[in-house]
Amino acid sequence: MTVPNQGPSSAPSLAAFSDELAAVVERIGASVVALQARRSYPSSGVVLQSGVVATAAHTLRRDDGISALMPDGSIAAAALAGVDPGTDIAILRVESSAGAPAEFADAAAVRAGNYVVAVARDADGTLAASAGIVARAGGEWRTWRGARVEPRIQLDGGLWSGFSGGPVADARGRAIGIGTSGLSRGRAVVIPGAVVKRVSEMLLARGRIARAWIGAAVQSVELPPALRSRLGLSNTQGLIVLSTVPQGPAEAAGVMLGDILLAVDGEALAAVEDLTAALTPERVGKAVKVSLIRGGELISAEVTLGERPHGRC
């Protein structure tokens, strides 16, 4: 897709651009469904494979009684396969093979200023579109629930109601991910297709995302300059242990109330979010080295992380 030229001769180019954009929406729309999982307007979802749909988790207000309006106009029952609040992704199994599986392009090529279009499906089955530009792109970012997403793609505005969970396409007409307003205040973000695929595979296999768990409540504290100087620390803050779960990973490793955690496997801990980010799914069942201060002295403990129990932070 090309941006129209400026000037008196731009009318044919503008018309071509308009037609091409409409064609992109129709093509992407072949993978878009409308999900009824709340009282008011529906949310949008994307067909990942036959009988499997991805959407934005925050748009679902119930776990059962969900229906999907498919691209061919048929209505199918949908069952929740799993939810990952960290990435705001929910996966549903749909009793229908209708809809073309979405093909996601590599989101790593997206740059700030790129033109994008979000696609949704209304309750009556019609397609809807909203266009804008990418405000920020590139690098890894951490959602407010601690999940890491790469690359970061932030849009220049929000999403209209019903658009969260629907695909976002670039100016070449390629889907780069699904849009959501549930991970960033004020502005919408795009969850890259590679992340959607990775999370969907885990949710379909296990019904949940296994996240590591240390079994301790912590709070950020500032380290006194004199203590930092004496111990030769570059950290200005650490995490003080307020409590430990009985027989949890931290207590089993000897971590005590009042200990100040400084790092996990060399990754500095200055805020609670830093610890959350360090507790990745890959570390479940693994031993990590935790650097900490106890009684004014620098020591280390080896903590074998567990899997976060359901309902725990």
pLDDT at 24 over 70: yes
> What is the domain partition of the chain in residue ranges?
1-209, 212-307
- DSSP letter assigned to residue 274: H
pLDDT at position 311: 46
33-87, pLDDT tens digit by residue?
999 998 888 999 999 999 999 999 999 988 889 999 999 999 999 999 999 988 9
1-209 matches 212-307 in fold: no
102-123, pLDDT tens digit by residue?
999 999 999 999 999 999 999 9
User: Which whole number is the average pLDDT over 279-303?
Assistant: 95
What is the phi/psi pair of residue 146, to 5°? 95, -5
276 contacts 283 by C-beta, under 8 angstroms:
no
Give me the half-sphere count of Cα atoms (radius 13 Å) on the Cβ side of residue 220: 12
217-250, pLDDT tens digit by residue?
999 999 999 999 999 999 999 999 999 999 999 9
User: Which whole number is the average pLDDT over 263-272?
Assistant: 94
- The answer for residues whose C-beta is within 8 angstroms of residue 92's C-beta and 6 or more apart is 35, 45, 52, 53, 54, 55, 66, 68, 78, 79, 80, 81
pLDDT at position 219: 97
Among 184, 153, 148, 150, CA closest to 267? 148
pLDDT at position 148: 81
- The answer for residues whose C-beta is within 8 angstroms of residue 198's C-beta and 6 or more apart is none
Q: What is the CATH number of domain 1-209?
A: 2.40.10.120
pLDDT at position 10: 64
163-219, pLDDT tens digit by residue?
999 999 998 889 999 999 998 877 899 999 999 999 999 999 988 888 899 999 999
Residues 212-307: name the CATH superfamily: PDZ domain (2.30.42.10)
Asked whether the CA dihedral 229, 232, 236, 238 is positive or negative, the reply is: negative
Separation CA 27–CA 117 (nearest Å): 12
One-letter identity of residue 45: G
Q: Is 144 exposed, middle or buried (0-12, 13-18, 19+ CB in 10 A)?
A: middle
